[in-house]
């Protein structure tokens, strides 16, 4: 069996071509509001992946309509997925989540949901809700795993363990819901062999997709402070070295696991490191060249 491209995986799941549209539901995160921690994960700056039309002061409906308008020329014939990406998109009362998700699905041409969250924010009640939606509108739950090494999770202030991520992935998948795992490559103190150990561990779990990207040191984060004081012990890849490592990772993953993404491109104004200054298409070309 050859590995599916992510676009083909989505097309099979939804029966049509789909485009993800970001939604900021205005929720927070237990690692920011003091429930688990303050200040968030060491690398986290949500502004780095929040499009201009995705702002929590607008309703879910308005954000989706604005996003559809933004992409109208490029993806006119596609259906849409509401991508609840900002902060922790299952961190609210179930009634509120139900209302947010239902509102998204009531927007014309929105055929499903991608819900991004932490592994410790998936209660049975939340899973019941997601299952009930999934019966008519397929849902993908994207879980921030980042690494399998508890020492790194502590270092970056994730406030959950690898075992928590394993448990969450297993519980979601056992409900018949597709799970995507999110990993960060190049976290402080990790060698390439450490990262391969994470990839090997994740490959044992019932995930459908994996999304990984290089660590980006962003302004406004605690990593940025460490970077500026030269206290950060991280791998300094060139794009070619990173592409080569991505190839090693993908070669080791079972073909049943779809690879969504290998690289991330934060706005230059926020980015301190690495300054590759590459668009995703340029990185894909580098990757193709090393195959
Ligand atoms: S990365 Fe996610 S869990 Fe961590 S602080 Fe940011 S929103 Fe919260």
Question: Per residue in 61-115, pLDDT tens?
Answer: 999 999 999 888 777 789 999 999 999 999 999 999 999 999 999 999 999 999 9
Indicate whether 136 belongs to any domain. yes
Buried b (16+ CB within 10 A) or exposed e, 197-206: ebbebbbebe
Does the beta carbon of 31 sit less than 6 angstroms from any atom of ligand 1?
A: yes
Closest ligand 1 atom to the C-alpha of 87? Answer: 7
Total domains present in the chain: 1
Distance (Å, whole) CA 96 – CA 85 = 16
Q: Ligand 1: which residue has its CA nearest to atom 7?
A: 87
**Spatial CA neighbour of 87 closest among 14, 142, 161, 151:** 142
- Crossing angle of the two packed helices 124-134 and 94-105, in degrees rounded to 10: 20
Indicate whether 231 belongs to any domain. yes
pLDDT score, position 52: 55
Which string of DSSP letters, residue by residue, matches 7-30? HHHHHHHHSS-EEEEEE------T
pLDDT score, position 15: 95
Residues of the chain with pLDDT under 70: 48-56
Enumerate residues 6+ apart whose C-beta is below 8 A from 9: 208, 209, 258
Mutate to test the pocket of ligand 1, among 87, 153, 155 (most ligand atoms within 8 A of CB): 87
Indicate whether 77 belongs to any domain. yes
Q: List, in sequence order, the alpha helices (H) in the chain.
A: 6-14, 60-70, 94-105, 124-134, 150-155, 162-174, 192-203, 222-228, 239-252, 280-290
Closest ligand 1 atom to the C-alpha of 88? Answer: 7
Whether the CB-CB separation of 150 and 161 falls below 8 Å is answered with yes
pLDDT score, position 75: 72
Measured in angstroms, how far is the CA atom of residue 159 from the centroid of ligand 1? 10
Print the domain residue range for 121.
6-290
Indicate whether 250 belongs to any domain. yes
Indicate whether 40 belongs to any domain. yes
Indicate whether 272 belongs to any domain. yes
For the segment 31-51, what is each residue's pLDDT rounded down to a tens digit?
A: 999 999 988 999 999 776 665
Q: Ligand 1: which residue has its CA nearest to atom 2?
A: 87
Indicate whether 1 belongs to any domain. no
Does the beta carbon of 118 sit less than 6 angstroms from any atom of ligand 1?
A: yes
CATH code, 108: 3.80.30.30
Count of other CB atoms within 10 angstroms of residue 156: 22
Does the beta carbon of 182 sit less than 6 angstroms from any atom of ligand 1?
A: no
Indicate whether 45 belongs to any domain. yes
Residue 65 bridge partners (DSSP): none
Mutate to test the pocket of ligand 1, among 25, 29, 56 (most ligand atoms within 8 A of CB): 29
Check residue 47 and report its DSSP letter. Answer: G
pTM attached to this predicted model: 0.95
At residue 33, φ and ψ (nearest 5 deg) are -95, 5
Give the H/E segment covering residue 259: strand 258-261
């Amino acid at each position: 069996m050859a590995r599916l491209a992510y676009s083909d995986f989505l097309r099979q799941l939804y029966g049509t071509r789909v485009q993800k549209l970001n939604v900021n539901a205005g929720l927070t995160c237990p690692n920011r509001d003091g429930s688990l921690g303050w200040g968030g994960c060491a690398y986290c700056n949500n502004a780095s992946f929040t499009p201009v039309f995705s702002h929590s002061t607008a309703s879910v409906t308005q954000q989706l309509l604005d996003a559809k308008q933004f992409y109208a020329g490029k993806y006119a014939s596609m259906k849409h997925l509401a991508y609840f990406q900002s902060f922790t998109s299952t961190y609210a009362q179930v009634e509120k989540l139900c209302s947010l998700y239902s509102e998204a699905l009531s927007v014309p041409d929105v055929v499903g949901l991608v819900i991004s969250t932490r592994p410790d924010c998936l209660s049975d009640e939340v899973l019941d809700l997601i299952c009930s939606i999934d019966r008519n509108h397929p849902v993908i739950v994207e879980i921030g795993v980042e690494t399998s090494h508890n020492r790194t999770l502590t270092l970056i202030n994730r406030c959950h363990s690898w075992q928590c991520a394993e448990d969450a992935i297993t519980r979601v998948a056992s409900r018949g819901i597709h799970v995507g795992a999110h990993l960060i490559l190049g976290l402080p103190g990790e060698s390439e062999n450490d990262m391969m150990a994470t990839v090997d561990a994740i490959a044992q779990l019932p995930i459908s997709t994996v999304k990984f990207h290089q660590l980006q040191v962003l302004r406004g984060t605690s990593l940025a402070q460490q970077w500026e004081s030269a206290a950060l012990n991280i791998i300094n890849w060139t794009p070619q070295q990173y592409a080569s490592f991505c190839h090693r990772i993908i070669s080791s993953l079972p073909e049943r696991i779809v690879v969504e993404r290998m690289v991330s491109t934060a706005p230059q104004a926020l980015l301190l490191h690495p300054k590759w200054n590459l668009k995703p298409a340029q990185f894909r070309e580098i990757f193709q060249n090393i195959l």
